[in-house]
Amino acid sequence: MARPVERRRHRTRQRREVLELLAATDEFISARQVHARLRERGSTIGLTTVYRTVQVLADAGEIDAVRLGSGEQHYRRCRDGHHHHHLICRHCFRTVEITGPAVEAWSRQIGGEHGYTDINHTVELFGTCNDCRQVAG
Amino acid sequence: MARPVERRRHRTRQRREVLELLAATDEFISARQVHARLRERGSTIGLTTVYRTVQVLADAGEIDAVRLGSGEQHYRRCRDGHHHHHLICRHCFRTVEITGPAVEAWSRQIGGEHGYTDINHTVELFGTCNDCRQVAG
DNA sequence: ATGGGTGCAAATAATTTGCAGGTAA
DNA sequence: TTACCTGCAAATTATTTGCACCCAT
């Protein structure tokens, strides 16, 4: 058995910058957006590093990753460290974190009915938020 | 108001080939796979056409599109013409179509609670199917 | 000292677009 | 005839990798 190698993470300026930006951002943004915004602020961080960092953070469960429409991945710091889903406005991308005990139970049950185990699921809700409805029907 | 232009579709050999292949295929396959398989069979269809065709078919609701892991889109002809979800084996990608009245209701309710309307959702379940569990735990 | 981290440039990979013919209706 | 359709090549776009150097531990 390969024991999980104890991997110590270095606390670098770049890691901190990415995390701080995501912590201060309420909505989902792409890796390229993270990079652009940090550069605007004078950071010298590289795009490659941003990609690597968000990947690490997503794997560690410190940020959420979702695909909004086009094949671009978007990230967001999650308040709730637990498993949850998102309700995203399709216009402004305003996001609400939601938990769905009902969905969790449902997915496990459906899986069982068909002989599938270790059920995982991706659930994202898209809708038009109150503000956007006012502006443009 | 721009009236929806009446767009008549041409019935071409290529369109038919793609649809027939998908009709004969039980699992999700990518546009490139569709192209490769048709070529193997002697078709001269171009990759571009495949991409354009699956996009049209997906928009028309004639096939389902999901993203399996990597940023590659996969397609599958759906039996059930109605809205449904999938339970996909993460090893062999064997797929079961499922309908979730519970999820439909849940998503609409959650949306309403937060002032969101016209709720859409993406729900995909991933698990390990019976056969794959036997082979490799 | 060491192994993780960084960034540039180049490489991949998926998908789209320009354009010059075809062809279904 | 008139759009729509096709396919090649080239362009885009998102993301990854090779590599030499840097720095947190």
- Give the span between the Cα atoms of A111 and B96, in whole angstroms: 10
For chain A, percent helix, then strand, then coil, each to nearest 5? Answer: 40, 25, 35
A119 touching B (Cβ < 8 Å)? yes
Query: Residue B48 CA to nucleotide C16 C1', Å?
Result: 9
pLDDT value for B47 = 97
- Token look-up 């295929």 returns B25
Query: Quick one: what percent of chain B has pLDDT higher than 90?
Result: 36
pLDDT value for A86 = 87
Phi and psi at A125, nearest 5°, equal -110, 140
Residuewise pLDDT in 10s, chain A (137 residues): 444 445 678 889 999 999 999 988 888 899 999 999 999 999 999 999 999 999 999 988 889 888 876 678 999 988 777 788 888 887 777 888 898 788 899 999 999 999 999 998 888 888 888 888 876 55
pLDDT value for A59 = 87
User: Is residue B1 predicted with pLDDT exceeding 80?
Assistant: no
- In eight-state DSSP terms, residue A10 is P
User: Is residue B80 predicted with pLDDT exceeding 80?
Assistant: no
Say how many C-beta atoms besides its own lie within 10 A of residue B17's C-beta.
20
* B40-71 pLDDT per residue, tens: 999 999 999 999 999 998 888 888 888 876 67
| Residues, CB < 7 Å to strand C | A 5, 7-10, 12-15, 44-49, 52-53, 71; B 8, 10-13, 30-32, 47-48, 51-52, 55, 70-73
Helices A31-40, A47-59: inter-axial angle, 10-degree rounding: 130
pLDDT value for A134 = 74
